[in-house]
């Protein structure tokens, strides 16, 4: 198929109810299936969701957790193992040959399908392989300057990184479900980069389309569009798999924290992350708040000093100019970000003062945010996780003074459970979640096999 004829991947829809493993089966866009197929589809999702959330589980345990009969669970598990989504494991969790018994667990094994998560940031490009439970099995990182490289060269590097991981996936005999892409900007409804303040030349780019084209070159369509992959089918099954999808890095980082952060019952939080820009993802009632145009959580441009320093966005006094990575380096009088950490560890006053000021500014903007959306927990991600010892006191002072919700319960500030890999893991995780939510929409052979 010529490149021009391939269906264009739509953008990542981040507005759905991305709850902890919740089923979103109702959202698929296919024609209404017959009652029997619909029931089967629902039950496949029920079973897969429990395995994704709870690790390897026996058929008996799956029956207990889903409320399905053991016979029905067995039927679903047989379908999911036949098409390679689940594997029969030994009771220690390692793969085992042959059919399982009711007591032996099924789960995701070394040949279960995976997704690729990619992050293009100002100062690096990174990618990882995640399974349907969101576990990373491989990561790659390129330290580079995407601002200086520009979109053409920058996307070339990104595509090479993805192609490399895709080849390793193929070599393992795994099915590749798709690729999610995190970017440091606001993404429009059809996946174009609406605004990338710290990589201005990238604005207007449709990174998923570009990546798709580049992967065709790199891979010759062999992996991503071959029989083991689903990219070529991406546009066809209605609202099915968005194989190459793109979302804001702060939003994807917040989803990674929600899904993989290891917190119990953390459904209302603000995840703040910093690199050159400062971003935030807001999860309220277990849902990502994306806003009407996908631009929610633009914490970096919340004002902290009405007539303050000029910002790249055109306004004055934005948080980014006080708590962004480059602002901290400048304030500390350091040659680079790495040196700021060293200087702070040595107790050098210029670094400590710059970090205290960053914490105070962050506190002002976070307090405003908490007064607006009322979430009780602040998760420090990106550079703020490692800077926590130096910024936390000033941050906490602002929150204690200013947050109305603090009168009714504690405002907690915690380090992120998912580290610097959060955005790429969230990007891969969105693909994984879509498949878990409705496996039959993405793996149509699940419906071909009659029970």
Instruction: Give the residues lining the site for a second copy (CB under 8 A).
Output: 15, 186, 188, 194-195, 268, 280, 282, 284-285, 289-299, 301-306, 313-316, 318, 364-365, 367-369, 371-376, 401-402, 404-405, 407-409
Nearest to 280 by CA among 305, 255, 316: 255
- Tell me the C-alpha distance between 160 and 69, whole Å: 47
Angle at 143 between CA 141 and CA 145, to 5 degrees: 135
Q: Closest separation between CB of residue 365 and a second copy, Å?
A: 8
Q: Closest separation between CB of residue 63 and a second copy, Å?
A: 22
35-54 and 422-437 helices cross at what angle (nearest 10)?
150
Contact 183, 236 (CB under 8 A): no
Q: Closest separation between CB of residue 410 and a second copy, Å?
A: 11
Based on CB atoms, which residue is closest to a second copy, 230 or 367? 367
Q: Closest separation between CB of residue 121 and a second copy, Å?
A: 19
Under DSSP, the state recorded for 95 is: B
Based on CB atoms, which residue is closest to a second copy, 129 or 302? 302
- Tell me the C-alpha distance between 420 and 7, whole Å: 33
Based on CB atoms, which residue is closest to a second copy, 272 or 351? 272
Residue 353 Cα distances to 335, 349, 378, 382, angstroms:
16, 6, 22, 20
Contact 345, 356 (CB under 8 A): no
Q: Closest separation between CB of residue 25 and a second copy, Å?
A: 16
Based on CB atoms, which residue is closest to a second copy, 123 or 308? 308
Contact 175, 108 (CB under 8 A): no
Q: Closest separation between CB of residue 304 and a second copy, Å?
A: 7
Based on CB atoms, which residue is closest to a second copy, 73 or 196? 196
Q: Closest separation between CB of residue 29 and a second copy, Å?
A: 19
Q: Closest separation between CB of residue 36 and a second copy, Å?
A: 19
Nearest to 301 by CA among 181, 423, 186: 186
Q: Closest separation between CB of residue 248 and a second copy, Å?
A: 11
- Tell me the C-alpha distance between 291 and 223, whole Å: 35
352-390 burial, b at 16+ Cβ within 10 Å, e below that, comes to bebbbbbbbbbbbbbbbbbeebebbbbbbbbbbbebbeb
Q: Which residues contact 301 (CB under 8 A, 6 or more apart)?
A: 311, 313, 315, 318, 319, 320
Based on CB atoms, which residue is closest to a second copy, 342 or 401? 401
Based on CB atoms, which residue is closest to a second copy, 227 or 314? 314
Of the chain, the end-to-end C-alpha distance in Å amounts to: 35
Based on CB atoms, which residue is closest to a second copy, 186 or 427? 186
Based on CB atoms, which residue is closest to a second copy, 62 or 196? 196
């Amino acid at each position: 198929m010529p490149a021009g004829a391939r269906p264009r991947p739509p953008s990542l829809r981040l507005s759905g109810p991305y709850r902890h493993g919740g089923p979103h089966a109702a959202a698929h866009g296919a024609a209404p299936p017959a009652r029997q197929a619909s029931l089967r589809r629902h039950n496949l999702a029920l079973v897969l969701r429990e395995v994704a959330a709870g690790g390897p589980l026996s058929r008996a345990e799956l029956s207990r957790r889903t409320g399905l009969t053991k016979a029905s669970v067995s039927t679903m598990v047989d379908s999911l193992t036949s098409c390679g989504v689940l594997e029969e494991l030994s009771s220690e969790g390692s793969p085992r040959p042959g059919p399982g018994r009711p007591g032996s667990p099924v789960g995701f094994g070394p040949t279960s399908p995976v997704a690729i998560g990619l992050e293009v940031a100002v100062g690096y490009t990174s990618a990882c392989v995640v399974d349907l439970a969101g576990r990373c099995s491989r990561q790659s990182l390129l330290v580079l300057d995407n601002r200086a490289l520009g979109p053409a060269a920058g996307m070339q590097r990104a595509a090479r990184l993805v192609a490399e991981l895709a080849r390793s996936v193929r070599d393992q005999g795994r099915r590749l479900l798709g690729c999610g892409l995190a970017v440091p900007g606001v993404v429009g409804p059809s996946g174009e980069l609406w605004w990338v303040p710290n990589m201005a030349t990238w604005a207007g780019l449709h990174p998923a389309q570009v990546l798709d084209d580049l992967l065709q070159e790199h891979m010759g369509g062999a992996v991503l569009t071959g029989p083991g992959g689903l990219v070529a089918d991406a546009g066809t099954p209605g609202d099915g798999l968005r194989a190459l999808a793109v979302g804001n890095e702060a939003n994807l980082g917040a989803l990674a924290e929600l899904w993989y952060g290891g917190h119990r019952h953390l459904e209302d939080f603000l995840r703040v992350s910093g690199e050159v820009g400062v971003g935030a993802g807001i999860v309220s009632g277990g849902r990502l708040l994306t806003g009407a145009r996908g631009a929610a959580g633009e914490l970096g441009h919340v004002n902290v000093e009405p007539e303050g320093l000029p910002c790249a966005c055109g306004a004055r006094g934005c948080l980014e100019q006080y708590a962004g990575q480059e602002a901290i380096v400048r304030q500390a009088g350091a040659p680079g970000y790495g040196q700021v950490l060293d200087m702070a560890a040595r107790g050098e006053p210029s670094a400590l003062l710059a970090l205290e000021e960053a914490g105070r500014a962050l506190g002002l903007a976070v307090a405003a945010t908490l007064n607006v959306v009322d979430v009780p927990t602040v998760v420090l991600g990106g550079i703020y996780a490692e800077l926590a010892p130096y910024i936390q006191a000033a941050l906490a002072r602002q929150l204690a003074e200013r947050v109305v919700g603090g009168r009714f319960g504690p405002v907690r500030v915690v380090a992120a459970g998912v580290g610097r890999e959060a955005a790429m893991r969230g990007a891969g995780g969105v693909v994984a979640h879509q498949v878990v939510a409705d496996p039959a929409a993405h793996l149509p052979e699940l419906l071909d096999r009659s029970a």
